[in-house]
Structure formats: structure tokens, C-alpha cells
């Protein structure tokens, strides 16, 4: 029932559907809080509630948040508040998390590193503070990491260079400092890298010159353009 003009709250009766495995109510005009029972449905694999006007916190413990079969969790572009629900740590089949453009207030949770099947992690445009934990590099299947338009501090962990499946990395519009780690150049599948509008300094590693999309503006970078030399091996378009 996505992409309609459905309005009002999500009814509590939805949580009483014992065989429901997919809940897609995206791109409507739904409002209010999500019925708590929806976060305790043992068969639910997909939750897509993006682009609504839903609000409120999400239960933040294993007793009130238990979705053992969950694979996709998308709440983008709503008005959710509170912490990123730690109950997600027990969702061992989880592959994709989309939470951008809400009002979550949290750090980047270390427990995310437990989600071995995770391929997409999108947390941008929330009130995310603190550093990027190096342990996030344990997510070796991750293809997309987006934590932009937040308040991250500290350095870009060199350990991100161990995430060999990563193709999209967006850490722009934060307060990150320090040099750009050369290890990011080891990511042969990385085609989109954005570190714009941070406090990064130093020279651009030569290993980054072969990326399809490299956005580094509004930092304190210096040095020369030698990192663009790999482009000289490109033939005519």
C-alpha cells in the first residue's frame, strides 16, 4: 500500500496479523507513533515506512523490540526521535538499514558490527555525534555506508579500507578532522566517495585518483594534484 494518500495512524490491529512478513506503507501521509506490537512480530522480514509523518521513539531493548526474521528496516524521512533501537543487534538476518532524515540522537552504535549480513547502513541527517568506531570495519559485506549531515567528530578510521565490498561512502557535512586515510584507496569497488564539508587536512592520497566520483570540497586539504595522475591512463571518451 505504498505511494498512495493514506493518512492517519497505523492501526494497532496490524500487529495482530500472525503471518505478516512484509509491511510496506511508504510514501503516504501516515502520522502518529508506530504501534509497539509491530516491533514484536516474529515473522516480519521487511518494514518500509519511509516518507511519512511518523514520530516518536522506537523501543530500545530486546523485550520490546524483537524482530528475529527482519531483513530490511527502512524508516527514512519521518520524524522519529530517540536512540537507534539496540534491538536491531539481535536481527541476525538484517541486510539493510535506512534511517536518514529523522531526528534520532545517538552515537554510531558499536553493536552494529554484530550484523554480519549487513550490506547497507544509512544514518545520515540525524543528530549522530561522536566518532566512527573502527569496529564498523567488521561489516565486510557492506556496500553502502552513509552517515552524512550529522555531527561526527574524530578521524576517518583507516580500518574502513578493510571493507572490500564498499562501493558508496558518504561522510560529508560532519566535523571530521585529520588526514584522509590512504587505505581508502584499497577499496577497488569504491566508486562514490564524499568527504565534503568537514575539517580534514593534509594532502589527498594518490590512491584515490581512480574513483569515479570523488568529492572533497570545503575542507582544509593542501598539496598538489598528483592524486589525479591515474586519470592520465584513461583513454578518450
| Distance, C-alpha 103 to centroid of its chain | 14
pLDDT single digits (tens) 176-231: 999 999 999 889 999 999 999 999 999 998 888 777 889 999 999 996 666 665 54
Domain ranges of the chain: 7-232
Asked whether the predicted pLDDT for residue 233 surpasses 90, the reply is no
Query: Each residue of 94-112: pLDDT tens digit?
Result: 999 999 999 999 999 999 9
Residues 208, 227 contacting (CB under 8 angstroms): yes
Query: Which CATH number among 3.30.565.60, 3.50.50.60, 3.20.20.210, 3.80.10.10 corresponds to the domain 7-232?
Result: 3.80.10.10
Confidence bin at 18 (pLDDT 50/70/90): confident
**Region for 138 from its dihedrals, namely left if φ exceeds 0, alpha if ψ lies in -120 to 50, beta otherwise:** alpha
Question: What pLDDT, in 10s, does the model give residues 63-88?
Answer: 789 999 999 999 999 999 999 999 99
CA distance 122 to 107: 13
pLDDT on residue 237:
35
Whether the CB-CB separation of 195 and 221 falls below 8 Å is answered with no
Mean pLDDT of 120-127: 98
Cα 180 from Cα 209, distance rounded (Å): 13
* C-alpha cell read off for 230: 591515474
**Which residues are 97's β-sheet partners?**
73, 121
A 10 A CB-CB count for 79 gives 13
CA 130/CA 176 separation, integer angstroms: 10
| 235 pLDDT tier (thresholds 50, 70, 90) | very low
pLDDT over 90 percentage in the chain: 84
What confidence score (pLDDT) does residue 226 get?
63
Say what the pLDDT of residue 117 is. Answer: 98
Amino acid at each position: 500500500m505504498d505511494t498512495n494518500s493514506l493518512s492517519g495512524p497505523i492501526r494497532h490491529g496490524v500487529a495482530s496479523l500472525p503471518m505478516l512478513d512484509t509491511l510496506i506503507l511508504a510514501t503516504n501521509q501516515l502520522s502518529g507513533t508506530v504501534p509497539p506490537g509491530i516491533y514484536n512480530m516474529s515473522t516480519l522480514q521487511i518494514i518500509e515506512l519511509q516518507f511519512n509523518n511518523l514520530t516518536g521513539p522506537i523501543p530500545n531493548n530486546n523485550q520490546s523490540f524483537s524482530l528475529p526474521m527482519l531483513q530490511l528496516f527502512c524508516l527514512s524521512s519521518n520524524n522519529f526521535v530517540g536512540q537507534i533501537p539496540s534491538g536491531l543487534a539481535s536481527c541476525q538476518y538484517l541486510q539493510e538499514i535506512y534511517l536518514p532524515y529523522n531526528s534520532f540522537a545517538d552515537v554510531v552504535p558499536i553493536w552494529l558490527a554484530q550484523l554480519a549480513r549487513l550490506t547497507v547502513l544509512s544514518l545520515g541527517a540525524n543528530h549522530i555525534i561522536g566518532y566512527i568506531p573502527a569496529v564498523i570495519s567488521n561489516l565486510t559485506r557492506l556496500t553502502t555506508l552513509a552517515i552524512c549531515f550529522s555531527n561526527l567528530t574524530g578521524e576517518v578510521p583507516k580500518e574502513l579500507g578493510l571493507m572490500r565490498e564498499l562501493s558508496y561512502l558518504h561522510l560529508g557535512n560532519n566535523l571530521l578532522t585529520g588526514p584522509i586515510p590512504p587505505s581508502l584507496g584499497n577499496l577497488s569497488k569504491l566508486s562514490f566517495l564524499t568527504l565534503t564539508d568537514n575539517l580534514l587536512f593534509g594532502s589527498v592520497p594518490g590512491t584515490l585518483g581512480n574513483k569515479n566520483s570523488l568529492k572533497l570540497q570545503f575542507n582544509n586539504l593542501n598539496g598538489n594534484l598528483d592524486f589525479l595522475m591515474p586519470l592520465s591512463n584513461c583513454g578518450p571518451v
